[in-house]
Amino acid sequence: MATSAGSKTGFVRQTMEAARPAPITEVGLVGWMKKNLFSSVPNTVLTLVAIYIVWVTVPPLLEFSIFNAVWSGDNRAACTNAEQGGLQPEGWFGACWPYVGAYFKQFIYGRYPAAEYWRVNIVYFMFVAGLVPLLIPSLPYKRENALFMFLIFPVVTFILLTGGHIRLEGFLLPEAVMRPSFVKFLVDFGLLTALAVAIGYVIARGTESNPAPMIRNILFAMGGLLVIALLCAVNFGLRHVETDVWGGLLVTLVIAVTGIVASLPLGILLALGRRSQMPVIRLFSVIFIEFWRGIPLITVLFMSSVMLPLFLPEGVTFDKLLRALIGVALFSAAYMAEVVRGGIQALPKGQYEGAMALGLSYWQMMQMIILPQALKLVIPGIVNSFIALFKDTTLVLIIGLFDFLGQIQSSYSDSSWASPVQSLTGYFFAALVYWLFCFSMSRYSIFMERRLDTGHR
Amino acid sequence: MADLPLTGAPASARADDPRRSLVIAFAVLCVVAFYASAAICFYGSDLFGPIRAVGNIFTGLFSGRWGTAFNPMAWITVLFTLGIVMRTVSWFGFEGQQSYAGNFFNDSGLRNFFFEMLLLGVLGWLFWFIVGNAVNNLAAAGIASGFDFLRRPAGFGINFSPFINYQEVSSYGTVYFVGLGNTLLVAISGIILATMIGFMIGIARLSHNWVISRLAYVYVEVMRNIPLLLWIFVWYFSVLRLLPGKADPLDLGPFGLLNIAGFYAPLPIWGEGAAIIPIALLVGIVGAIFLGRWASARQMATGQQFPVFWASLGLIVGLPLIAYLAAGMPLTFEMPTPSRFGPRGGARVPPEFLGLLVALVTYTASYIAEIVRAGILAVNKGQTEASHALGLRQGQALRLVIVPQAMRVIIPPMTNQYLNLTKNSSLAVAIAYPELVSVFAGTVLNQTGQAVEILLMTMLTYLTLSILVSLFMNWFNAKMALVER
């Protein structure tokens, strides 16, 4: 018994066998592919279908844009085949990059006079130089930077792009009292300042607070306005450039940036109005927001280009670009209001109660406690609405402004580059530029979202 | 100051409230100032002008003279006065916190009242300003006002009107309905297709299959980072232009023909007695709904399952098929046939519709995909694990456990996307697909010049559509919402 048992267990391993390496089909690239791509029959089919989709889309796209593309040439001959009067072989199909090169300046500056390109370049440079440090959270001087972007940059841009030297002829008193002149402007401005000071004084006395700081603030604001107005009126010797000749990326950026900058304060006011306890103001905000959100942007642009001139007194005309800007600003203000409201509602109630317990007034509470936190929370939302607005600026081409896409679209009418691949090349280029802008902005928005998302873990 | 109440007095004590006269005086002042400025600015200093205009509303309404009844300035006057009166009355019912310490700015009720009157006054005056200028400018330009133009013949052709028999002699009012029909057509088909594709891509984005999820990711990022208008141009001006010419269309077999001039679908010809087929279809759909209810009730009661999907499919497809056969096959399809001058017969769908639909669907699908992905990710992972532990397969777990819970997160933003798609369909004006904005706010506006009426009608239409979609989705959302105890 013992022997048989002993013979049965004749071999007993005394030491552990070293672990063998995993089979080659389970590790490395092969193992990963087996696990992720070919784990079952349906999965394999899906993988093959996906690879087929990539196969039919990517190579033709690369061929069109790079391998078959023409990179140099002077006119349409470079991008047409012999039958169409060009140099390319029969059946050639590729992008015509020299056409984009020839029109590149138009795509960036529109029909802005070539001798004045430096003005646009300075604006582009200031925009990048002011925006990039503002977007990087770790850099200091955010306050000064924001002041530059929201105050100095718009004024300088206005003067540079239009040439400044606007004529100030007054705005308040009827013509019967005083003839339009620069003196009348000063008189009018003085009257307006006096009116504002008087209202401020009454309110300050009414609330039994010290009128001095209130009046000082009003005088400060009106003085700032006066300086801006005078700056715009100074003749810097810049040639006047009509907005009709603006175009390309310039118009796209002007509309998008003005839209977002103007819509931010309006949107904040509307968001506060919607959360207000005053029924009339709340009702007004709700109607305003829901009206603009309920109609398509294109009808807004139609309205601003067709109806706005009707709403103004006879003789007062607005520039076409300015009309579009007004429409876009009101439209995006409604969307901005909803973004800001999201931030305001996300704050816990304790913040309001704490602020009120400290004895802060409504505006003090909003200015010092609520809005700084709420606006920080909605930075990703603001960037997202900027992306939406940036894409929506393309719509202005329908009312006859030449934004980036409109400029590309209008270049097709030039017969010197007419070819069957012209429109595809143009759209490919436009898509590339829009994609680069929007994709990088959406990455930034995700980055900020991650950075701000500190409260939950 | 000590004798003044520090907290809100009961409404009965308001009679001797010293603020009462202040509020009434201020409201009266607002109304008088509004009337006076309106009279001076727009009625040539005729102080009774606004009052007469208001009176004309009633005489106009009773005598049927709509022109005088719809004087917008008079309506603004009425609404403004009504607003002030209502707000004043509501102030008297205000029972909130009031700390009256000697001056009225410290009383939150009074202060709010003051600011609201100010807003009403500014708004009322702004509207007067706008309407008055518009009336003057229109009169100076010799443009008629009112809605009489809707009855005049349009005199231009529309190349796509599937619902309404439109001729050049049809009225501008008909043009409106043709445009509305085309807007609804592209919006509804777009919503259905975009939802289907969006769900597919959203789920593909979460797939464990690396190639599939990357492909879905690339699709989403490419689609939504390029403006919709550019997509419409690409599809319409570039891709659809690559289609074969009129004489040699692409043959899609039973689906019809496709060429540069559009898509030629088989045209159904309804023979005698064919009406029974849609009736059978309707019966099938209603039957399927009841079958679903019965099956779920039975499963709740006994735990037995019933193959609802296959039975419903059988009802919805089978019943019309049986009706079709029983009625002696009255429905035939007229297939388009190619010819030298383009296909003949069939139902033509213009390339504008195709380009717009494809662009709208592919663009919106990328947004819907992200919403679906976020919704599914919002469902706790434990739900997936629990359903796998119960022995459900991946597809069953998605269908029975994950998606129903994800729907609660998905529906509200999805509503926004549906509204966006509907509003974005107005971009068709760039490629001249005859929808509402293109044909009504575009062509009709150019012909008649009545910008105010036409844009107002267009905007109100979109607002109504938005409200209808929101109401429906709110109802659907309430139906899907978690029922908590």
Domain boundaries, chain B: 11-142, 172-248+352-480
* Cβ proximity of B347 and B266 under 8 Å: yes
Task: Note whether B227 contacts A392, CB cutoff 8 Å.
Answer: yes
Q: For domain B172-248+352-480, which CATH number applies: 2.30.140.10, 3.40.630.30, 3.40.50.300, 1.10.3720.10?
A: 1.10.3720.10
Q: What is the pLDDT of residue B195?
A: 95
Task: Note whether A310 contacts B209, CB cutoff 8 Å.
Answer: no
Which of B105, B222, B419 is opposite residue A203, by nearest beta carbon? Answer: B105
Q: What is the pLDDT of residue A206?
A: 67
- pLDDT above 70 as % of chain A: 96
* Cβ proximity of A64 and A424 under 8 Å: yes
* Cβ proximity of A249 and A112 under 8 Å: no
The minimum CA-CA distance between A21 and chain B, rounded to whole Å, is 26
Size of interface A-B (CB pairs under 8 A): 158
Which of B133, B226, B430 is opposite residue A311, by nearest beta carbon? Answer: B133
Which of A280, A387, A424 is opposite residue B120, by nearest beta carbon? Answer: A280
* Cβ proximity of B245 and B261 under 8 Å: no
Cα-Cα-Cα-Cα dihedral of B147, B151, B152, B155, to 10°? 120
pLDDT (tens digit, 9 = 90+) per residue, B186-220?
Answer: 999 999 999 999 999 998 998 888 889 999 999 99
The minimum CA-CA distance between B230 and chain A, rounded to whole Å, is 7
Which of B237, B427, B451 is opposite residue A423, by nearest beta carbon? Answer: B237
d(CA B232, CA B104): 59
Q: At what angle do helices A153-162 and A117-135 cross, to 10 degrees?
A: 160
The minimum CA-CA distance between A11 and chain B, rounded to whole Å, is 42
Residue B262's H or E segment, with its range, is strand B262-265
**How confident is the prediction along chain B (485 residues), in pLDDT tens digits per residue?**
344 444 444 444 445 566 677 778 878 888 888 787 777 776 766 777 777 777 777 777 777 666 666 677 777 778 888 888 887 777 776 554 454 555 566 667 777 777 888 888 888 888 878 887 887 888 888 877 777 788 888 888 888 888 888 888 888 888 999 999 999 999 999 999 999 999 999 989 988 888 899 999 999 999 999 999 999 999 998 888 878 877 777 777 777 788 877 888 887 777 777 778 888 889 989 999 999 899 888 888 888 888 888 888 888 888 888 888 887 777 777 777 777 777 777 788 888 999 999 999 999 999 999 999 999 998 888 998 999 999 998 888 888 888 888 888 888 889 889 999 999 999 999 898 998 999 998 888 888 888 888 998 999 999 998 888 888 878 887 877 766 55
CA B226 to each of CA A97, A257, B236, B301, B433: distance values in angstroms, whole numbers, following the listed order: 20, 18, 16, 52, 21
- The angle formed by the CA atoms of residues B428, B431 and B435, to the nearest 5 degrees, is 35
Which of B90, B212, B424 is opposite residue A279, by nearest beta carbon? Answer: B90
**CB-based contacts of B434, cutoff 8 Å, min separation 6:** B158, B159, B160, B161, B178, B179, B182, B352, B428
Return left, alpha or beta for B171; rule: phi > 0 is left, psi -120 to 50 is alpha, else beta.
beta
Claim: this prediction has a pTM higher than 0.95: no
Task: Note whether B426 contacts A299, CB cutoff 8 Å.
Answer: yes
- pLDDT under 50 in chain A at which residues? 1-5, 456-457
pLDDT (tens digit, 9 = 90+) per residue, A226-268?
Answer: 999 898 888 888 888 888 889 899 999 999 999 988 999 999 9
In chain B, residues with a C-beta closer than 8 Å to the C-beta of A381 are none
Longest dimension (CA), chain A: 133
In chain B, residues with a C-beta closer than 8 Å to the C-beta of A278 are 112, 115-116
For residues B55-75, one letter each, b for 16 or more C-beta atoms within 10 angstroms of the residue's C-beta and e for the rest, the string is ebbeebeeeeeeebbebbbbb
Task: Note whether A298 contacts B437, CB cutoff 8 Å.
Answer: yes
Q: What is the pLDDT of residue A169?
A: 80
pLDDT (tens digit, 9 = 90+) per residue, A335-393?
Answer: 999 999 988 988 888 999 999 999 888 888 998 999 988 988 888 889 889 999 999 99
Task: Note whether A405 contacts B233, CB cutoff 8 Å.
Answer: yes
Task: Note whether A391 contacts B228, CB cutoff 8 Å.
Answer: yes
d(CA B474, CA B231): 31
* Cβ proximity of B281 and B287 under 8 Å: no
The minimum CA-CA distance between A281 and chain B, rounded to whole Å, is 6
Task: Note whether A50 contacts B212, CB cutoff 8 Å.
Answer: yes
Task: Note whether A405 contacts B467, CB cutoff 8 Å.
Answer: no
* Cβ proximity of A401 and A358 under 8 Å: no
Domain boundaries, chain A: 23-66, 68-106+415-457, 166-233
Q: What is the pLDDT of residue B184?
A: 93
Hey, of A44, A55, A298, A361, which one would you mutate to test binding to chain B, going by the most B CBs within 10 A of its CB?
A: A298
Return left, alpha or beta for B44; rule: phi > 0 is left, psi -120 to 50 is alpha, else beta.
left
* Cβ proximity of A299 and B459 under 8 Å: yes
* Cβ proximity of B326 and B279 under 8 Å: no
- Look up residue A268 and give its two tokens: 């904040």
Coil, helix or strand at residue A174: coil
The minimum CA-CA distance between B275 and chain A, rounded to whole Å, is 39
Q: What is the pLDDT of residue B17?
A: 63
Q: Which chain A residue's Cα is nearest to B238?
A: A424
Q: What is the pLDDT of residue B8?
A: 47
Task: Note whether B459 contacts A295, CB cutoff 8 Å.
Answer: yes
Which of A312, A395, A423 is opposite residue B133, by nearest beta carbon? Answer: A312
Task: Note whether B441 contacts A280, CB cutoff 8 Å.
Answer: no
Residue B265, beta-bridge partner list: B347
CA A366 to each of CA A278, A354, A361, B225: distance values in angstroms, whole numbers, following the listed order: 16, 12, 9, 35
In chain B, residues with a C-beta closer than 8 Å to the C-beta of A307 are 134, 451-452, 455
Q: Which chain A residue's Cα is nearest to B424?
A: A296
